[in-house]
């Protein structure tokens, strides 16, 4: 069966520090991968998605970036965090969008 791993679960980082969040999927090949952010009391904001290794589509211009170095690995990064980057970051995967996404457990990031 397929599983998705996301870490860390919580993270407190100072303003201006770098960020690296990792997501891996097991038990499948060539999944579509997604990074979402959910700010407190707000909806899910799609940040990046990838349909294959090295293929990244950005939905929102900001100080975040994403990479997909391996088929089942998706990384969200920032060189310098802003206070506004605080939120709940969710990775998701799908083989066929007709069946929806499966989300990871999420990373709660607090920038202080």
Report if residue 99 touches other proteins, rule: CB under 8 A.
yes
Among 3, 84, 105, 110, binds other proteins (CB under 8 A): 105
One residue of 14, 43, 54, 61 binding other proteins per CB under 8 A? 43
Among 42, 80, 82, 110, binds other proteins (CB under 8 A): 42
Closer residue to other proteins, CB minimum distance, 28 or 32 = 32
Return d(Cα 26, Cα 13) in angstroms, integer.
28
Answer for the pair 63, 78: CB distance below 8 angstroms, yes or no. Answer: yes
Nearest to 47 by CA among 29, 27, 67: 67
SS3 100: coil
Residues 55-84 that bind other proteins (CB under 8 A): 57
Select from 29, 40, 83, 97 the one that contacts other proteins (CB under 8 A). 97
Nearest CB to other proteins, comparing residues 73 and 88: 88
Distances (CA, A) of 108 to 25, 51, 77, 112: 19, 25, 14, 13
Hey, is 79 helix, strand or coil?
coil
**Site residues (vs other proteins, CB under 8 A):** 32, 34, 42-44, 46, 49, 51, 57, 90, 94, 97-106, 108
């Amino acid at each position: 069966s397929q599983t998705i791993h996301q870490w860390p679960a919580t993270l407190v980082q100072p303003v201006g520090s770098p960020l690296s969040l990792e997501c891996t999927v097991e038990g499948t090949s060539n999944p579509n991968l997604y990074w979402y952010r959910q700010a407190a009391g707000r909806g899910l904001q799609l940040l990046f998605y990838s349909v294959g290794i090295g293929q990244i589509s950005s939905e929102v211009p900001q100080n975040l970036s994403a990479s997909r170095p391996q088929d089942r690995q998706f990384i969200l990064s920032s060189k310098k965090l802003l206070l506004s980057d605080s939120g709940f970051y969710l990775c998701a995967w799908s083989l066929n969008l007709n069946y929806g996404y499966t989300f990871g457990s999420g990373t709660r990031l607090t920038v202080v």
